[in-house]
Structure formats: structure tokens, C-alpha cells
Structure 1
Amino acid sequence: MDDSSLYALISQIRHSDFPEEWKELIIGGVDQKVLWLEDGSASAGYQHILKHAVEFEELGITKDQLAELAEAATTVGYLSGMQDHRQPGRPIFALSFYGKLVAVAILIGSNGFVVGMNRSSLNRCLEKNNIRQDELADLASWPEVKE
């Protein structure tokens, strides 16, 4: 199984009706029950994330929305790959955030601490997972729209 198939399978499991304890065993460390974001420093936490604020502002996402984006990505985001320029790599989540399509690489510590978050290539994520842009909002949308 190649990486894109594995990530697609993991994302399907995250959004399935499997019991929560099965999801935890399968995903191991990607999902956290409780996330926390503290001010931190230049190398971890909110201050570290703010170094990437301009990347998100280009998409119309303000720095005041970054904490919510971290929650959205890890709650409803479509796990689409790993950013592996460092080990361990950051999981990359694709989602529609208030109608804006975005791919986010986010690292969560084993205790739920949001270590860092940066923008990733949406087109690469969609291509790798064979998803069209118009399908993404149906797969992963924040806030979730109920019809």
C-alpha cells in the first residue's frame, strides 16, 4: 500500500462509525481528545505558529483564527499525508475552513500540546489523494454545515 492509500484509509477510519477505542489504536497519536495551545516560544506553541501567520493571511485566515484552525484541522480535517522534512513528520490535514480551502501541517505532542502549524500545498494534497476541490467541503468542513 502506498502512502496516499494509507492516508486515505486512515482518514476514512477517522470519519467512520468505528468505536473510538479502535480509532485510537489505528491512528496512534494523530488524534487527541484534548488539544491545548499556550503562548509558548519561538520554537513551539502559539508564538511559533504566529511565524507562519502571513501564509494563512494570504488565504484570508487571520492570526486570531489560527487556534480555531488548529482545532478544525485535527477535528474534521482530511488526513492527506505527512510533512516529513523533519522527523517525526507533521500530519497534513485538508479542509474547508469557513469556506476557504486549506491544507495545514500540524504537530501535536503526545500530551495534546499544539507544537506547531504551517500551511501546506492544497493542490499536492488533493492530487495525492485523488480528491477534487469541490469534493473537499463535503469531506471536511468547519464549521460543519448540516442540511
Structure 2
Amino acid sequence: MLKGFREFILRGNVIDLAVAVVIGAAFTGIVNAIVNSVFNPAIGALFNAKSLEKALPVTIPTADGGTATMYFGAVIAAVIQFLLVAIVVYFALIVPINYLKRVSFRKKQEEPTADEEVPPTELELLGEIRDLLAKSPVSSGAHSQPTE
């Protein structure tokens, strides 16, 4: 039982996932700071509101004769914040990483090294197998192919 647990923990993908969670948690602070310090005040100024969460209140009567207030601005603020976080993550992480991958891929394709031997294609391998079978003593006499 402990051997299986050890194998599970030492798998590469489990450790990669743990690292991703830790890095993601650390990056969350950066993304939240950008969204809360830059974008939310700009949106609040655009709507002339200090806080979107108290915007668009709707008051409804309750069963006991009181009132309850629904703040649709809070929902709109959550949607806007989600979109802003997605935009920041896309432009701060995804775009640069994809760019670096493309640059790295181009460099790998442009720099064939003399040490690297180009592997044979499937067609070349099949041709070699055919030639070897044709030369082998077994295929020459005892096991001939049926003719149609």
C-alpha cells in the first residue's frame, strides 16, 4: 500500500500539478492587484461609482413586511472582474508563453545539428524490412507466397 502511494507521489505529473497550483496561487496576487488597483477604479470612474457592488439596487418586499435589496451591480462587477482577470492572464501569461514557444520551435527547426541523425521514414523502414526478408533463406524456398 505504501509502495503504491510512493509511486503515485513520485509521478512527474503529480509534482508538476503541485508546482502549478503553487505558482497559480502566487500569481493570483499579481492578477488581483492589477485588476483591483488599475481596472476596477477605471471602471468605477467610468460609471461614476465608488463601488460597483452597491450599484443598481432593486428593493423588493419580503414576506414579513420588510424589504430586501438586491444589488445587480455586484453581479455585473463579478462578471467584469472575471473578464478582467481572464484578459490579464491571457495577455500576461498566455501570449508571452505562446510567443516563446513559437520562437523556440523555429530555432529548433532552423538549427539541425550534425550530431543528430535524422530518423528514417516509415517508408524507408518498410523497404529495409522487405529487402531483408527477400535476402533471408526462409523466404527463398520453403515458404513461398501463394499465387492467385
Q: The TM-score by the shorter chain falls in which range?
A: under 0.3
| TM-score of the superposed pair, with normalisation by structure 2 | 0.19
| TM-score of the superposed pair, with normalisation by structure 1 | 0.19
Structure with the larger helix share: 2
Structure with the larger strand share: 1
Which has the higher relative contact order, 1 or 2, with Cα contacts under 8 A spaced 6 or more apart?
1
